[in-house]
Structure 1
Amino acid sequence: MAIRPILLNPEFLMIFLQTMSLYFQAKSIGIAIPGIGREDVTHAEFGLPPLPEQSRIVTRVTALRRLCADLRQRLAERQSVQARLAEALVQEVA
Structure 2
Amino acid sequence: MEEQKASAEGMAGEHTLAMTRCSELSLTGVREVRSFDENEVKMDTSCGILLIRGEGLHVKSLVLEKGEARVEGKVESLQYQEEKGFVKKGESVFSRLFG
Higher share in helix: 1
TM-score, with length taken from structure 1: 0.23
Greater radius of gyration (CA): 1
Higher share in strand: 2
TM-score, with length taken from structure 2: 0.23
